[in-house]
Structure 1
Amino acid sequence: MPVNQRPIYALALRLMAMLALSAMLLLVKLTGERGIPLTETLFWRQFLPGIALLGWLASRGELARLRTQRLWSHARRAFVGGTGMFFTLGVVQILPLAEATVLGFTSPIFAVMLAAGLLGEKVGPWRWMAVLLGLAGIVIIAGPDRAHIPLNGLATGICAAFLVAVISIQLRDLGRTEEPVSVVFWFSAFCTPVLALFFFRNGSPHHDLAGWAMLAGIGATGLAAQLLMTAALRYGSVASVIVMDYSQFGWATLWGWLVFAHVPGPQTWIGAPAIIAAGLIIAWREQVRGSAAGPRPPAA
């Protein structure tokens, strides 16, 4: 085992990252219920981490790490990522937290389909079986009862997962030449001015203290989740820590029960394991393929 590998510590960091991420989604849902426009929530979600990252690099005299020769690639990633973020945060304002979180777990399924269709990657029977299993889980959760999962919420969740899969392909490309801090910063730098246009038009400057605390909490928990996920990958491999990502369903169910008195229905409890199993199969096969191909440079 390499010296810097600490598997248990990495798992703990990833678990804390999922807790922070679930807390961010809870705050997004609460801001929606308080009437704060989603565009304003998105603005603070991007602006606060971007400023924090810029200040941190400036204090260390490391602003040169943000230099890039691929501004157009960053701009495209920001367009797709910003759209994906709109759907990802928007779905929690439509659906209960647990159901919205489970739909987000379908992004590896779409990533496999995109890799086969756009990248010409050879996909074996194990991953195709996982795709079918995941799609079956979506059908089970959706069910015939539109009161359980409204159609607009289902569509928003699936769009969010699909765009996350597209972003994963973009990050794979950017990771060949760009540092993770550069990718995160330029994402905020491109998204924040666009979101500011909507913010100054539709923002609500009359928030009370609780509203401002929620918006600050969204930025803080989002940044904490990013830092914790990055730290987890420093001490453990993707394949070893990704299992903790599915703990987010547990956190979301807990928040939904404590804050909104919502308990997922039987359709969710049947469909969620199918989607989670599909994601774990895909992660396992990616690990097998990576081991067979030898070590690869880390992605952003």
Structure 2
Amino acid sequence: MQNGHNHVPMPYIPERFYGIALFVIAMFFFSCMNVTISSMAGSIPSVQIVFMRNVLGLCMLAPFAIRRYGVEGLRTQRLGRHAQRAFVGLLSMEAWFYSLGNISVNTATALSFSAPLFSTVLAVLLLKERIRALRIAALLVGFGGVVLIASPTRQEAQSFYSYVVLFSALMMAYTGIIVKKLTVTEPSWRIVVYMTAFMSVMSFPLAWMEWQPIELPIMGMLVIVALCSIIAQICLTHALKLQKIVVLTPFEFTRLMFTAMIAWIVFGEQLTWNSVVGSVIILSSAVFIAWRESYVKKKKIVL
């Protein structure tokens, strides 16, 4: 007779797949955050949303981090690098919100997904990560799925504000490089704590100049934005610690797929044929990368 307390052993999951899984989870919570921010459009200035997102996030994370790791856990020898990460990230965030007020969300979203392309190039140049034809092909296929979903207009894609989005995407990609370097010596939670702290200080002057009273429903939405942001940033940072950027970047396209699904569930926005087909293309590209990563590790080859 078997002992009722015996447990079935959990299957072994390679660490590299934890990195991919955490990255996809981060994309889901970023999507939740973006949909919530979109629902607040026109309620308060975007610079105020940026400030409140960081302040509320810091209030959520800092007490937990200090209680668990102590004040000593906040000590770092890389304060300058943390400040650099926050400054570059803030540039990306402010440029993104500014562009959303001047071109359609579809066009901005399509252009923002140039970030994975920038990330791949920067990872090869600055981190000396290696990438070959199959990964590049999968990355381009995923980007094609994004363009199919977003369907940007030619006129908007050539406007000044499109370059603002591209600047935001470039800064976002560079942020990933900085975070990757920080993860060599810093735990994920410490990186996020310093990010929110520095961003709170840096974003305050612009928020103060355009400050408006915050009604209770909007405050509730800001809390949701901050919570989603903190969860996403922790997952993203730990994913970058576990996996190479060139492996993770194709999975960034899942963010648009999640956004379309959430908008359909929450706001009842109708799914179009190009949204469905584009999502299938994005998912297929991501699954191929995950499968190929497993194959590469087993065969000890580089793609």
- Equivalent in the alignment of 2:6: none
Cα 1:3–1:162 change in 2 (3 A) is: same
Paired amino acid for 1:51? C
Paired amino acid for 1:166? Y
Is this contact kept in 2: 1:28–1:89, CA < 8 A? no
Paired amino acid for 2:53? R
| Aligned-partner SS, 1:198 | helix
| Aligned-partner SS, 2:192 | helix
For structure 1, which segment, 256-265 or 121-130, has the greater mean C-alpha deviation from structure 2 after superposition? 256-265
Q: TM-score, normalised by structure 2?
A: 0.72
- Equivalent in the alignment of 1:195: 203
- Equivalent in the alignment of 1:224: 231
User: Please, which runs of 5 or more residues in structure 2 have no aligned partner?
Assistant: 1-9
State the alpha-carbon separation in 2 of the partners of residues 244 and 100 from structure 1.
19
- Equivalent in the alignment of 2:212: 204
Residue 177 (structure 1) aligned to one of 166, 182, 185: 185
- Equivalent in the alignment of 2:176: 168
State whether structure 2 residue 70 is matched by structure 1 residue 75: no
| Aligned-partner SS, 2:228 | helix
Is this contact kept in 2: 1:133–1:274, CA < 8 A? yes
The higher radius of gyration belongs to 2
Residue 215 (structure 1) aligned to one of 198, 217, 222: 222
How far 1:150 sits from its partner (Å)? 8.4
Is this contact kept in 1: 2:37–2:225, CA < 8 A? yes
| Aligned-partner SS, 1:69 | coil
- Equivalent in the alignment of 1:55: 63
- State the number of aligned residues: 292
For structure 1, which segment, 170-179 or 114-123, has the greater mean C-alpha deviation from structure 2 after superposition? 114-123
Cα 1:115–1:222 change in 2 (3 A) is: closer
Q: TM-score, normalised by structure 1?
A: 0.72
Residue 38 (structure 2) aligned to one of 29, 36, 41: 29
- Equivalent in the alignment of 1:124: 132
State the alpha-carbon separation in 1 of the partners of residues 182 and 22 from structure 2.
25
Deviations 1:247-283 (A, max 9, x none): 5444422343456564465555555554555555555
State the alpha-carbon separation in 2 of the partners of residues 6 and 177 from structure 1.
18
Cα 1:51–1:7 change in 2 (3 A) is: same
How far 1:11 sits from its partner (Å)? 9.4
How far 1:175 sits from its partner (Å)? 1.1
Is this contact kept in 2: 1:98–1:256, CA < 8 A? no
How far 1:116 sits from its partner (Å)? 3.1
State the alpha-carbon separation in 1 of the partners of residues 249 and 171 from structure 2.
19
Deviations 1:18-55 (A, max 9, x none): 54332211121122232x11111111111112222221
- Equivalent in the alignment of 1:112: 120
How far 1:62 sits from its partner (Å)? 1.5
How far 1:209 sits from its partner (Å)? 1.5
Paired amino acid for 2:40? T
Paired amino acid for 2:228? T
Paired amino acid for 1:223? I
| Aligned-partner SS, 2:77 | coil
Is this contact kept in 2: 1:105–1:275, CA < 8 A? no
State the alpha-carbon separation in 2 of the partners of residues 218 and 145 from structure 1.
29
Cα 1:5–1:96 change in 2 (3 A) is: farther
Let me know the Cα RMSD of the aligned residues: 4.6
- Equivalent in the alignment of 1:298: none
State the alpha-carbon separation in 1 of the partners of residues 247 and 147 from structure 2.
29
State the alpha-carbon separation in 2 of the partners of residues 186 and 58 from structure 1.
13
